[in-house]
Structure 1
Amino acid sequence: MGSLRYLTQAMPLLHLTSRIRSRIANVRLAAMLAFAAGLVDVSGFLGLKQFTSHMTGITAELAAGLGTDQPGLLERSAVIFMSFLAGAAVCALLVNFSRRRERESLFALPLFLEAVLLAAVGVLVHGMTHGFLLLGVLAFAMGLQNAIITKISDAEIRTTHVTGMVTDIGIELGRALYMSRNPAHEPIHVHRDRLGTLVLLVGAFFAGGLVAALVFPRFGFAAFIPLALLLAAPTLPPIVADLRGMRS
């Protein structure tokens, strides 16, 4: 454990999935995951004409497909919805399993699984075929991811959709613009740290999407391979620590 602590202090990236959390670690991890979500979402749109990381539109598509009798739309949105839900459920299972056994990798395992899934898509998928299966894998990975940061941050942070974050940015901007004419009233304070975090996460999501828009036309889903390596890197120290603990 001493060597692991020294390693994570020397290389900040490697402490992002450790059991002991800090706010700065949560924000750094969330920024990386928001970037990943943007990249995956735009890649899914470019390759399959479908976003897969946020369920608001998918739920609306479910209703539209059912209400207008469009089997194709209904089946596609149902696959994505159920896969995202399954990914979140699997994340909770992995985290609770590891927490009961006091393992270091309780947050690392779901992220490592996401990295494996994205790497598999990048290596195995060629062309634009595979339809529902590929949509299901991407949605499952996004469900895993959103549940990871939700559990780590006690539901304070989300990374696979930006609607709530943009709303909160607007609220904080409204606080900043409000001018009270009555000096007797308590001033309205802007939560600057929260505003900065929200802007960072929305910017990271946008940056991921922009990268996908630039590289997907040339590399296709192979662009997921470096992303998978980035996601897997901070999961290795906790996983290795647990494996060593099992052997001793």
Structure 2
Amino acid sequence: MKTTRRFFHPHSFARALVARRRSPGNDLILATILAAIAGAANAGGFFALGHYTSHMTGYLSQLADNIAILNLWVIGLSLLAISAFVAGAGFSTVLINWARNRASRQQYAWPLAMQGSFMLCFSFGGVLTGDIGRLFALSCLCFIMGMQNATITKISGARIRTTHATGMITDIGIELGRAVFCVLRPQAGLRVDAAKLRILLQLVFSFLGGGIVGAVGYSHVGFFFSLPLALILLGLGVPALLTKQL
């Protein structure tokens, strides 16, 4: 009897991850990859620019503080970061809805491919010097972060956000609190959502692992460490774009 061997095809795997018809497993795999990229890019943003570019709460707080003391430079920097993040989220939403109307099988491939393209641009941000280079790199990376958060939010039906570690850690705390309450009052009938807790822990550790890799990479290579991150994003999005639509 002949046995059929199944081979791993990267292009087919990438197309499955961004397909219109999705499974929770594919959502989790894609979210894990994107969380690692977000962690790496976020750490890289700090090493390259001195800013954590996924942390909009920090920029909003920074904006309030510096409005109070009339520090115009930091006010402008904070507004630029927030505006770029919002613009990235909006651009991702426009792309997804445009592709949904024209080529529904590519609706999630387009924003990932575009994120890869912008990440390529960020990798050459070090070529520009002075304040212009810093402003370009900051706005580019915040734009990418906004795109990614909006993309995974749309893909998962708002169940997952890969750049919003505060929300994920809060949810982990909630589940751990439920676990403690279950021990103290087992008769209350409260249950821990173990599956949700595993997903949250996986994403947080993926973000952390990506951050460690990004910190090491950017500290040794600089902006050009963004190139492999860009290639991963392009590798996720481009195969589906090259597939003939039926």
Tell me, yes or no, whether TM beats 0.5. yes
In the alignment, is the contact (CA less than 8 A) between 2:81 and 2:138 conserved in 1? yes
Shift of 1:236: 2.2
Tell me how far apart the structure 1 counterparts of residues 191 and 185 of structure 2 sit (CA, whole Å): 15
Counterparts of 1:129-140 in structure 2, within 5 Å, are 129=130, 130-140=133-143
Partner of 2:222: 220
TM-score, with structure 1 as normaliser: 0.89
User: Which residue identity lines up with residue 32 of structure 1 in the other structure?
Assistant: I
Unaligned runs of 5+ in 2: 1-6
Tell me how far apart the structure 2 counterparts of residues 238 and 80 of structure 1 sit (CA, whole Å): 31
Cα distance change of structure 1 residues 210 and 9 upon mapping to structure 2, 3 Å threshold: closer
1:151 aligns to 2:154 (yes or no): yes
Shift of 1:221: 1.1
User: Which residue identity lines up with residue 72 of structure 1 in the other structure?
Assistant: W
Q: Deviations 1:176-229 (Å, cap 9, x if unpaired)?
A: 22246666x342211111000000111011111101111112100111111111
User: What secondary structure is seen at the aligned counterpart in 2 of 1:104?
Assistant: helix
Q: Deviations 1:25-80 (Å, cap 9, x if unpaired)?
A: 11111111111111111111111111111211111111112111011110111000
Partner of 1:64: 65
Cα distance change of structure 1 residues 14 and 8 upon mapping to structure 2, 3 Å threshold: farther
How many percent of aligned residue pairs carry the same amino acid? 35
Deviation larger for 73-82 or 63-72: 63-72
Tell me how far apart the structure 2 counterparts of residues 201 and 128 of structure 1 sit (CA, whole Å): 35
Q: Deviations 1:74-98 (Å, cap 9, x if unpaired)?
A: 0111000000000000111111111
Tell me how far apart the structure 1 counterparts of residues 125 and 184 of structure 2 sit (CA, whole Å): 63
1:174 aligns to 2:203 (yes or no): no
User: Which residue identity lines up with residue 211 of structure 1 in the other structure?
Assistant: V
TM-score, with structure 2 as normaliser: 0.90
Root-mean-square deviation (CA), in Å? 2.2
Q: Deviations 1:125-156 (Å, cap 9, x if unpaired)?
A: 33764011110000001000000001111111
Partner of 1:35: 36
User: Which residue identity lines up with residue 78 of structure 2 in the other structure?
Assistant: S
Tell me how far apart the structure 2 counterparts of residues 10 and 82 of structure 1 sit (CA, whole Å): 35
Tell me how far apart the structure 2 counterparts of residues 226 and 182 of structure 1 sit (CA, whole Å): 50
Alignment size in residue pairs = 238
Deviation larger for 58-67 or 140-149: 58-67
